[in-house]
């Protein structure tokens, strides 16, 4: 059986990222997201499942999702996916009758879950900002060595079995054995943190690094955080997302250092507190209509 080619089965493809939000600069990459409807052979064959294809290049980022995966992610209010329901015509490259069916029923996907997903994604950005700031102010000095933790070069257990071993009641082991497992875990955590630091240190975009050195924190992540918070607010209160974003000018200003680190953190924390009020005001249901979405999916694939 020949390999499935999702590009030949697109029902939707659109421009996303900064060129959708209205925050693109001359240095911005192009981002594309698509949804495909696999042929029946691919849908029914358990040995050749297709969920997603990613093809990131130096100046282009493209991802294509199977309709089934899109339905799952979108109904879970995944911020990067739910926005595909609102891509305007001038940013839409492919749109078939199947995608029109999706758009006619976009209300089935929307729910108050957006509060948790948008704030969750946003505050993962804040955690990264704070982590990078700490690395910037007080970088780790040395790569951790096993000997620093009193360990030999031969671990007691392999990586995937360490957590399982630690979950066994430790009174079943000798104290020294359990102690070594704990030191092994601490070493691996320290090694992971070091590897993350080195990847950040060595792979930063030079311009982005310059801004971080000037303003003391990652401005691009800061802009993403406020964008996510504002999008979550709009989706909760209106059931809609409008692109380009109304606050695109402010997002660019944030990316150029509008706020000090302290003022930015205060702004983010204030918005987080307001989400409870926006959640209560939201006309959206608490959960998406998965039964109706299942019927829609089956109708689309059976009447393709």
pLDDT of residue 36: 96
249 and 134 fall within a common domain: yes
pLDDT digits (tens, 9 = 90+) for 34-86: 999 998 888 888 877 888 998 865 567 899 999 999 999 999 999 999 999 99
Which range among 37-46, 49-58, 173-182, 184-193 shows the weakest confidence by mean pLDDT?
173-182
- The single-letter DSSP state of residue 294 is H
pLDDT digits (tens, 9 = 90+) for 217-247: 999 999 999 999 999 999 999 999 999 999 9
Whole-angstrom distance, CA of residue 161 vs CA of residue 173: 15
80 and 222 fall within a common domain: no
Average pLDDT over the chain reads 89
Q: Are 21 and 103 in contact (CB under 8 A)?
A: no
User: Could you give the maximum distance between any two Cα atoms of the chain, in Å?
Assistant: 67
pLDDT of residue 303: 83
In a domain, 250, yes or no: yes
In a domain, 60, yes or no: yes
Residue 172 pLDDT > 60 = no
pLDDT band at 180 (very low <50, low <70, confident <90, very high): confident
Q: Which of 148, 184, 137 is nearest to 164 (CA)?
A: 184
pLDDT of residue 208: 80
pLDDT of residue 58: 57
Q: How far is CA 195 from the centre of its chain?
A: 21
55 and 119 fall within a common domain: no
In a domain, 149, yes or no: no
In a domain, 145, yes or no: no
Task: Residue 292: give the domain boundaries.
Answer: 6-109+288-302
Six-digit token string for 197: 């630091």
12 and 50 fall within a common domain: yes
Residue 268 pLDDT > 90 = yes
Whole-angstrom distance, CA of residue 32 vs CA of residue 63: 6
210 and 191 fall within a common domain: no
In a domain, 270, yes or no: yes
166 and 219 fall within a common domain: no
194 and 251 fall within a common domain: no
pLDDT of residue 161: 66
295 and 172 fall within a common domain: no
Q: Write out the E strands in 146-187.
A: none
State the average pLDDT over residues 113-133: 92
Q: Bridge-partner residues for 65, per DSSP?
A: 35, 52
32 and 88 fall within a common domain: yes
Split into its structural domains, the chain has a count of 3
193 and 212 fall within a common domain: no
Residue 183 pLDDT > 80 = yes
pLDDT of residue 67: 96
62 and 133 fall within a common domain: no
In a domain, 132, yes or no: yes
């Amino acid at each position: 059986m020949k390999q499935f080619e999702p590009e030949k089965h697109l029902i939707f493809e659109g421009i996303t990222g900064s060129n959708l939000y209205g925050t693109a600069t001359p240095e911005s990459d192009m981002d594309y997201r698509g949804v495909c409807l696999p042929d029946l052979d691919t849908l029914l064959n358990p040995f050749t499942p297709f969920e997603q294809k990613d093809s990131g290049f130096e100046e282009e980022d493209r991802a294509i999702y199977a309709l089934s995966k899109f339905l799952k992610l979108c109904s879970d209010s995944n911020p990067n996916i739910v926005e595909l329901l609102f891509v305007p015509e001038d940013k839409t490259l492919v749109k078939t009758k199947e995608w029109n069916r999706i758009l006619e029923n976009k209300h089935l996907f929307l729910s108050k879950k957006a509060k948790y997903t948008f704030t969750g994604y946003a505050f993962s950005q804040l955690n990264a900002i704070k982590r990078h700031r700490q690395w910037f102010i007080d970088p780790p000095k040395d790569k951790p060595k096993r000997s620093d933790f009193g360990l030999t070069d031969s671990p007691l257990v392999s990586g995937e079995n360490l957590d399982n071993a630690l979950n066994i009641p430790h009174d079943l082991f000798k104290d020294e054995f359990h102690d070594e497992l704990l030191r092994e875990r601490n070493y691996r955590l320290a090694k992971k943190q070091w590897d993350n630091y080195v990847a950040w240190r060595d792979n930063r975009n030079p311009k982005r690094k310059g801004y971080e050195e000037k303003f003391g924190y990652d401005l691009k992540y800061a802009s993403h955080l406020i964008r996510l918070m504002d999008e979550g607010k709009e989706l909760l209160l209106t059931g809609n997302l409008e692109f380009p974003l109304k606050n695109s000018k402010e997002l660019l200003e944030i990316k150029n250092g509008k706020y000090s680190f302290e003022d930015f953190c205060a702004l983010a924390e204030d918005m987080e507190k307001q989400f409870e009020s926006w959640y209560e005001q939201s006309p959206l249901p608490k959960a998406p209509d998965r039964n109706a979405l299942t019927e829609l999916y089956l109708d689309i694939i059976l009447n393709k």
